Amino acid sequence: MPEQPIKIPVQLSRLPLHDHGTWQTQVATPAQALPPVNGELIPQGLSIKPLLEAELDALLDIEQTTYSNPWTRGNFTDALKHGNWCDLLWQDQTLLGYFVAMKGHQEVHLLNLTVHKDCRSQGLGLLLLNVLLSKSLQEKAQWIWLEVRVSNVRAIAVYERFGFRAVGERKNYYPLAPGVRENAMIMSLRL
């Protein structure tokens, strides 16, 4: 874990995020979507790669410093075993963030989206969502679904900015404190 905040040496403002006003609405069609995952989508200096077992320590470091109820090593290895997408965003040897998503029938379920605490609010969460969207479109998915704690206003704002909309709640979905649980907001993005 670096002691200094991580500086991203790329112009994230050049990401095509702002060009896609349609994402602010309910629907983004494949025709309006980003190009496939390639050099155009990932800014120079950053890379996205599938999780390797050897990288689990770096990932768990971020996971454990982010969540009160972090995923365990076993949760991540199970996710890998079951063929879920576990994609990591790197700047050289430094892990900046990751997402885990499960493919279903014409839909994708986002299970985990995390950005290193020292490099949030620089567009990296949106970049990871861009990659997820692009992969989902390649799989011809119709929807992306996710759950988020109702108290996680920051994440909800990022998802809404990307185009997700609240479609319901799951009661007492997340542990909050001993004997206390918190509702999840269910959000979806129609592709």
**Chain residues in the site for ligand COA (CB under 6 A):** 12-13, 15, 17-18, 66, 113-115, 120-126, 148, 152, 154-155, 157-158
In contact, 128 and 115? CB cutoff 8 Å:
yes
CB of 115 to ligand COA, least distance (A): 4
**Is the Cβ of residue 97 or residue 140 nearer to ligand COA in the bound state?**
97
CB of residue 33 to ligand COA, shortest distance in Å: 16
Q: Pick between residue 161 and residue 190 the one whose CB is nearest to ligand COA.
A: 161
Q: Which is nearer to ligand COA, 66 or 94 (CB)?
A: 66
* Min CB(146)–ligand COA separation in Å: 6
Sheet containing strand 107-115, edge to edge, reads: 47-50, 85-91, 94-103, 107-115, 143-149, 180-190, 165-177
Q: Which residue is nearest to ligand COA (CB)?
A: 125
